[in-house]
Amino acid sequence: MSPGPLVRVAFPAPAPFGQGPPPGGVALLTIDRPEALNAVSFALLAELVAALRALDADRACHCAVLTGAGSRAFAAGADIRELAGQTPESLRAGDDFERWDELRAIGLPIIAAVRGYALGGGCELAMACDLIVAGEDAQFGQPEIKLGVIPGAGGTQRLTRAIGKARAMELILTGRSISAREAAAAGLVNLVVPAEETLDRALQLAGQIAAMPPIAVRSAKAMINRAAETSLTDGLADERQAFFDLFATADKAEGMAAFAEKRAPTWQGR
């Protein structure tokens, strides 16, 4: 067991990008079990969800970056030592799957900054984030089949949606992992960057998102995620409602006034 917190939370100064003032509002969460390649234990997952929920409720936080300590792994999976002792009954009785579901309720945009292994539950965690910045040394995969099981925290569903049935079948049935470049070509990750730049580039992207009006950002995230869940007809209706709702915000008034006045907007988040 690692001493101290398994997930560290910090508020780094955003890396400079483009024009304009530094936006702030970016939280950095670091999975801190490098000795176990950041394997996600039940306790770690509980800490991570609690930290994200707290940030989600913090009006000053506009975007989160999730990464793994060290350079070897984002997370090499759920903790196999813990899983080894589980039974169908113990898994059903535990609340760990509810914890994974709670990740879906986070409205704050989350960027995974991935170096090294993102395997099994680690790949599922990265896919539960909204964007993925991958270092050139990143490896993604769902090797659960080699342990006699299948992905159980969203892998069969999210990987299939991200890269399509044929590729998901191959990766999940063989347990093969793919490089950052292959993952990018398949549509799993947003950006492949030199390994040492991974975190900076993710923070930079987070800074760009954090500089946008926060209510609109959350609304956009919710609607994009809705697309994976519903019919086009229902999704378009939901989008229209969300669009209408944003016209009641001060940020909409400010954004449109700033455009007309040829100045930079100042967002209030309301």
What is the binding site for ligand DAK (CB under 6 A)? Answer: 36-37, 39, 76-81, 83, 91, 96-97, 100, 117, 119-121, 143-144, 147, 152-153
Q: Could you say which of 39, 51, 73, 78 is catalytic?
A: 78
Is 144 labeled as catalytic in the residue annotation? yes
Which pair of structure tokens corresponds to residue 234? Answer: 């229902």
Who's near 222: CB < 8 A, 6+ residues apart? 107, 242
The answer to whether 188 and 181 have CB atoms below 8 angstroms apart is no
Going by their DSSP bridges, the two strands 26-31 and 63-68 should be labelled as parallel
**Secondary structure (3-state) at 264:** coil
From the candidates 128, 144, 153, 202, give the one annotated as an active-site residue.
144
By beta carbon distance, the residue nearest ligand DAK is: 120
Minimum gap (Å) between residue 257 Cβ and ligand DAK: 47
153 or 172, CB closer to ligand DAK?
A: 153
Q: Which is nearer to ligand DAK, 101 or 197 (CB)?
A: 101
Q: Which residue has the tokens 């990987």?
A: 159
Active site residue 121: yes
Contact 221, 130 (CB under 8 A): yes
Can 124 be counted among the known catalytic residues? yes
Which of residues 77 and 213 has its CB atom nearest to ligand DAK in the complex?
Answer: 77
- Structure token digits, residue 7: 């997930």
State residue 26 phi and psi, 5-degree precision. -105, 130
Task: For residue 41, report the phi and psi dihedrals to the nearest 5 degrees.
Answer: -80, 170
Q: Do the strands 139-141 and 178-179 form a parallel or antiparallel pair, or are they unpaired? A: antiparallel
Please give the Cα distance from 232 to 69 (Å, whole number). 40
Please identify, using beta-carbon distances, which residue of 147 and 246 lies nearer to ligand DAK: 147
Select from 51, 78, 54 the least CA-distant residue to 66: 51
Among residues 77, 120, 121, 155, which one is catalytic?
A: 121
* Total Cβ atoms within 10 A of residue 115: 25
CA-to-CA distance for 158 and 142, rounded, in angstroms?
A: 11
46 among known catalytic residues: no
Which residue in 120, 124, 154, 180 is the catalytic one?
A: 124
Catalytic residues: 78, 121, 124, 144
